[in-house]
Amino acid sequence: MTANSVKSPNQSVMPLSARINQQNQLEIGGISATDLVKKFDTPLWIICQETIEQAAAELKEGLANYPAGTSACYAAKAFLCKAMVKLIDKQGFCLDVVSEGELQTALAAGFNPDNIYLHGNNKSDREIALAIEHKIKLVVDNLEDLQKLASHSPAPCQVLLRIIPGIELDTHDHIKTGHDKSKFGIPLCDLDSTIDYIKSQPSIELLGLHAHIGSQAMDLAPFIDVIDVFASLYSGIKQKHGLSLSHLDVGGGLGIAYVESDRPIALVDWARAIAVKVQEAFEQKALALPHLSIEPGRCLVGTAGVTLYQAGRAKHLPDGTNYLSLDGGMADNPRPITYQAIYTARVANRMEPRLDQVKQWSLVGRYCESGDIIVEEVNLDVDPGDIIAIFATGAYNYSMASNYNRTARPACVLVYKGQAEVIVERESVSDLLRQDRIASWL
């Protein structure tokens, strides 16, 4: 089995390097899941480098014919560590960060500050100072961002204004960001006054506008709609303010396949359609074409990730419910309890099941919450001690993980052409205790 090489990476549930070997075991990056578990233990996050490289190549191919310059900016919030910074740098990507931690990770890995954009709706003074120091572009969320810049920056600082475009994405409420009541961005009714403020500040240079309408989008239409909004705004800004904005960031949010029934647009088709639409919309309004940025996060790295667990206790209830407890759960993957996210599960050490042993299971985590359920219903041939693979966990698993129930976070391993190396060390109990202090009066 392969992860269907005719599909775009974001359309495949499994990483592109996924195979079933002659021992009926899952292989990722040329290494069996059983060998990875023997070497690195469970729970374990696996990241497939080949999948990330192919996804990056398709995104760049989709943008290739846009005539005014493009950049693909990886959204660090999806998954970031120093190795990931190096990997996206090799692909020629820029980087979107939203915190000092993400920014310092990028700088520590040697990433060019010229290619970093600082986002966030409540940037700290420290984050703004670092952006000024390293000449990092800011994506401004509110007037206070601009006021902080004006008071801190002695030299021109380049900014994009994040707007609320008034476009609602068909996705979970918690990951909608383009609708009128979003906590992110500048309402369109305040855009003119915000630009007037920028024009009064010599230390601020307005490059263009930015919007992000949400995450896990399957369809192209909302992205096309937001480009029409942008074209009208750029035309209005030129007429009212005499500004020809040089940069346009249409955001991201393209989804991935978590289960076989998910049908996201292919990466190359998504990027190409955006590039074509921007050119058409801006030319129709006789506007100079801006530099075009897109922000792939989940769709670049999500499919690359697999989480490996060991199956533990089995429990069979009188109503026919069968619970199988895993040695991880909501602390390493909070998405099911947060977004009701769904996943695909397989027994990694027995990919083709014994048909007479298959039954319906609910895969549950080890944490003290009734909602700690990784997969609600799945038909598996599984025994205690087997290795369970959960696919498409490259995005928002490591980055949202916690130490709930005082448990240590798993290791993360990068695999590539038969090689496997730890890129984030497994935490220990000593790591958990290191920050503790006992008050002097206790």
Q: Which positions are catalytic?
A: 368
Residues 6+ apart with CB under 8 A from 242: none
The DSSP bridge partners found for residue 306 are 46, 391
- Residue 368 burial (CB count, 10 A): 10
Residue in the structure block whose two tokens are 């076989």 = 260
H or E element, residue 326 = strand 322-326
H or E element, residue 268 = helix 267-284
Strands of 335-372 (E only): list them: 345-347, 359-364
For residues 390 and 374, give the distance between their C-alpha atoms in angstroms, rounded to a whole number: 9
Sign of CA dihedral 386, 390, 393, 399: negative
For residues 154 and 404, give the distance between their C-alpha atoms in angstroms, rounded to a whole number: 44
The contacts found for 27-35 with CB under 8 angstroms, 24 or more apart, are: 28/306, 28/415, 29/415, 29/416, 29/417, 29/418, 29/419, 29/420, 30/415, 30/417, 30/418, 31/415, 31/418, 31/420, 33/306, 33/308, 33/348, 33/349, 33/387, 33/389, 34/348, 34/349, 34/387
Instruction: Label residues 69-93 b or e (16+ Cβ within 10 Å = b).
Output: ebbbbbbbbbbbbebbbebbbebeb
Q: What is the largest CA-CA distance in the chain?
A: 75
Taking a C-beta distance cutoff of 8 angstroms, is the pair 275, 292 a contact?
yes
Helix axes 49-63, 267-284, angle to 10 degrees: 20
Read off the tokens for 250.
């249409």
**CA-wise closest residue to 212 among 230, 236, 233, 238:** 230
